[in-house]
Amino acid sequence: MLKNYKIEWLVILIIIATPFVYLSTIYNALPQTIPTHFNVEGKADGFGDKSTLIFTTMLMTVIAVGVYFLVKFAHKIDPKKSAGQSPELLKKIALSVLLFLSLIQMIIIHSSIAEHLDGTKYIFPLTGIFLAVLGNFMHSIKPNYFIGFRIPWTLENEDNWRKTHYLVSKIWVGGGILMAVISLIANPTIGIIASGLILLFMIITPIIYSYKLYKNQNIANK
């Protein structure tokens, strides 16, 4: 048990430290002015001092660590903790979020030194994979106020929550993989537009489904 605990924290420290280590190894080689933003065509249209990378990396790390602890210990602070949320499931989700944000930082840092690298070309596929991973967990998440598809109708009815999250799980896995594939093979403009439409579908469809469940349940109870 203690060994597993130490391994877990070692993994966390490695994930957190990797962007800082990478930035420190290339910082002196960076030009004083670096690209900080790319347009839909993948061309840099915003620039800033390379020191902004230090601030950005620190800020994203603070956010990542904060989200990690919030997710991991959600079962202890959530009023619905009596629902029996799995600590192991929460730990897997928390690690997934931490790893995702760390990889995003790596892409941002690398985009600054690789002159012709469009970071968005990799961020969208990575986002798609991340959403697919989250989708794989969705059907196992029990009702809570912190994680999952938390809309009024799912939070008020456990059956609505279960059915909606089962649908979310299927849509997010498929939609995330589709987003990743299209973003990789399409040009940046089409990739961004397609990813946006897929993400919109992944969000709106479960909302409509949950509302219809709510309406049908109300009709059945009358």
Average pLDDT score over the chain: 85
Q: Is 149 helix (H, G, I), strand (E, B) or coil?
A: coil
Per-residue pLDDT, 58: 92
Asked if residue 98 lies in contact with residue 16, where contact means CB atoms within 8 angstroms, the answer is yes
Residue type, position 163, single letter: K
For the stretch 86-125, pLDDT in tens is 888 988 999 999 999 999 999 888 877 765 555 667 888 9
Residue 63: its pLDDT value, please?
A: 92
The DSSP H or E segment spanning 34 is strand 33-38
CB 183 within 8 A of CB 130: no
Token pair for 184: 């990789």
Q: Are 182 and 122 in contact (CB under 8 A)?
A: no
Q: What is the DSSP letter of 114?
A: S
pLDDT digits (tens, 9 = 90+) for 17-42: 999 999 999 888 887 877 666 655 55
Q: Mean pLDDT across the stretch 200-205?
A: 96
CA pair distance 204, 222, nearest whole angstrom: 28
Closest CA to 144 of 201, 205, 199, 87: 87
Residue-wise pLDDT tens digits, 51-98: 888 888 999 999 999 999 888 888 777 776 555 678 889 889 999 999
Least confident of 44-48, 130-134, 153-157: 44-48
Query: Is pLDDT above 70 for 13?
Result: yes
pLDDT, tens only, 156-183: 899 999 999 999 999 999 999 999 999 8
186 pLDDT tier (thresholds 50, 70, 90): confident
CA angle centred on 107, ends 102 and 113, rounded to 5°: 130
